[in-house]
Amino acid sequence: LYPRDFPFIGGQEGGGTIAAVSDEAAAQGIKIGDKVAYSVFGSYAEYTAVPAAKLLPIPDGVGVDVATACVVQGLTAHYLTTSAHVDLIKPGEWCLIHGVSGGTCQWAAQMAKLRGYKVIGTCSKGKEDIARKLGCDELIVLDEVPGTSYEDYESVDIVKKVMEVTDGKGAKCVIDGIGKSTMDISINSLAHRGIFVSFGNASGAVPAFPVLRLIGKSAYVTR
């Protein structure tokens, strides 16, 4: 999905202790020994060259592992819940978030609640204990695909459940990192003038679809 020129070093986020600084970085107050997290390509390495502007200082009391998780997952969850929906959802309205027991959407569910949205989350039975701790107003628990820990999105009629919970109105925003398996569910779960926010491909890329799919609810979609 995201082609790269070979050879390349994998990784997009990292954290650790600064081992060396340029004169320009030193002039900005960055010091050897500072704990930082960052997001740059090539982070799966013992050392990574990171532009000073990309460094995120890690506060005392926060572990490097937690801070590193904040960089991509946390910032992704932040834009999903604050700006990707272009304010088409308001406090007190329903937001459907798929896979709330996963990394990014654990953050997203909690951030959505902090913004005042009512949250419906989906998760697998095997990760229900994680999802129950996130404060979702409603949780749709799915069977797992045999032999895996992945949700079986055909095991429950999610659209029906969403409509029951929302008194037939649907969700004003759907945050979907699953992709191919949930595209139809997400679109069909939308409220009038709701927005389908697609950001991931866990089950495969979302296939192209005609814009007329959105006409019934004058809905929106963003990627």
| 97, 118 Cβ separation under 8 angstroms | no
Q: What is the pLDDT of residues 77-96, one digit of tens each?
A: 999 999 999 999 999 999 99
Report which of 187, 175, 173, 196 is spatially closest to residue 87, judged by C-alpha positions. 173
Which pTM was predicted?
0.91
Long-range contacts of 75-79 (CB under 8 A, 24+ apart): 75/39, 76/104, 76/107, 76/199, 77/104, 77/105, 77/107, 77/108, 77/111, 78/107, 78/111
Phi and psi (nearest 5°) for 197? Answer: -100, 105
Residue 157 pLDDT level (bands cut at 50, 70, 90) = very high
Q: What is the pLDDT of residues 101-146, one digit of tens each?
A: 999 999 999 999 999 999 999 999 999 999 999 999 999 999 999 9
Give the sign of the dihedral formed by CA 172, CA 205, CA 106, CA 18: negative
Q: How many angstroms separate the CA atoms of 135 and 156, rounded?
A: 21
